[in-house]
Amino acid sequence: MRLSKRGEYGLRAMIALAEPADKSATPQMMQIKAISLREQISPKFLEQILLTLKNAGLLHSKMGVGGGYYLARSAKEITLGQIFRVLDGPVAPVKCVSHMSYEPCGCPDEATCGLRLVMGDVRNAIADILDNTSLADVTKRQNAVRKKLASKK
Amino acid sequence: MRLSKRGEYGLRAMIALAEPADKSATPQMMQIKAISLREQISPKFLEQILLTLKNAGLLHSKMGVGGGYYLARSAKEITLGQIFRVLDGPVAPVKCVSHMSYEPCGCPDEATCGLRLVMGDVRNAIADILDNTSLADVTKRQNAVRKKLASKK
DNA sequence: TATAAAGTCTATAGTACTAGTATGCTTTTA
DNA sequence: TAAAAGCATACTAGTACTATAGACTTTATA
């Protein structure tokens, strides 16, 4: 059930872009290089990933000197599910329970297939989390943990 | 987040073995060929899978004429999580949230890594389902659906 | 207006994994 | 003792993963 490196890096990069570096309200713009350094990702690989995300409409970019990538929408309006699906495909463990890209599986009777019933639950559990967690939720949570750790010291 | 064919076939086979074919209380024994026909799986591939499951202690077998495979424990005592892990490895999407086979990931600070927090939730959601669903639960549920469908007609 | 910084796009390559196949072996029962 | 059944291992074709490389385009600014 693993997340590919592509998906992992893409999610990390999006989270990085969602973090308000300074108190400026303008969408944070970051360069590939900056993200790759910070997250320890091969810059060329990251480039590919960000491009995919851009073509999917989740990121915008500005070319030229002083350019970079920034979120296409506010961090509240981008969910992890959207990012995941662009980079790693359907959430469902088997196609026959996928909402977004259903395909029949081989089993004799889908309606009573026990595996399908359970995998449907699994799909829903994953999708529930991913589709109801926005980038803003993630950064909020990070900050909460940071605060908690700081107060403990 | 997909389930491999190996995992899918293995789970299907185990569910098939858990279904009480007749009212006999003795553990149901089935031959590779019977399972492969019923579930439409290449017999040779299935053989490999069942062998793996056997070596993991989830199945027992009887050699020779009239032999076959049967569950090592009662259907109530075998969870889908056990089967899944043998065939597809850890449930966790990233190693750094795996309970069964933890490994550190590259992020600068695991404690406050947003991706890790969310993926931890995902892992728990999946593991909750897989580890709390036994083969008996699956067959029970199948029967419930069958009954429901039959009564609707 | 030249130049360097930055993103765009396509191709390719090594590696590992997937989904099987193939082959020969041993055990058991009729 | 022959046939049925499982045991074990090796092999392979295809695909996906994880990048890497290189040439091109756009933009700011000196």
Q: Which tens digits make up the pLDDT trace of A56-92?
A: 999 999 999 999 999 999 999 999 999 999 999 999 9
Q: How high is the pLDDT of residue A44?
A: 97
Q: Which residue of A has its CA nearest to B126?
A: A122
Distant-in-sequence, close-in-space partners of B33: CB < 8 Å, separation ≥ 6: B43
The per-residue pLDDT for B106 is: 74
Q: Taking an 8 Å Cβ-Cβ cutoff, which residues of chain B contact chain A?
A: 1-3, 8, 11-12, 15, 39-40, 80, 88-94, 106-108, 111-115, 117-119, 121-122, 125-126, 128-130, 133, 138-139, 141-142, 145-146, 149
**How far A103 CA lies from chain B's nearest CA (Å)?**
13
Every domain of chain B and the residues it spans: 1-78
Q: Taking a C-beta distance cutoff of 8 angstroms, is the pair A69, A56 a contact? A: no
Q: How far is B74 from chain A (nearest CA, A)?
A: 18
Contact call for residues A137 and B115 (beta carbons, < 8 A): no
CB contact under 8 A, B80 and A8: no
Indicate the fold that domain A1-78 takes in CATH: Arc Repressor Mutant, subunit A (1.10.10)
Per-residue confidence in pLDDT tens, chain A, 153 aa = 999 999 999 999 999 999 976 555 566 899 999 999 999 999 999 999 999 999 999 999 999 999 999 999 999 999 999 999 999 999 999 999 999 999 988 788 899 999 999 999 999 999 999 999 999 999 999 999 999 999 987
Closest C-alpha to B120, from A89, A142, A14: A142
User: Across all residues in chain B, what is the average pLDDT?
Assistant: 93
The nucleotides of chain C lying under 7 Å from a protein CB are 4-11, 18-23, 26-30
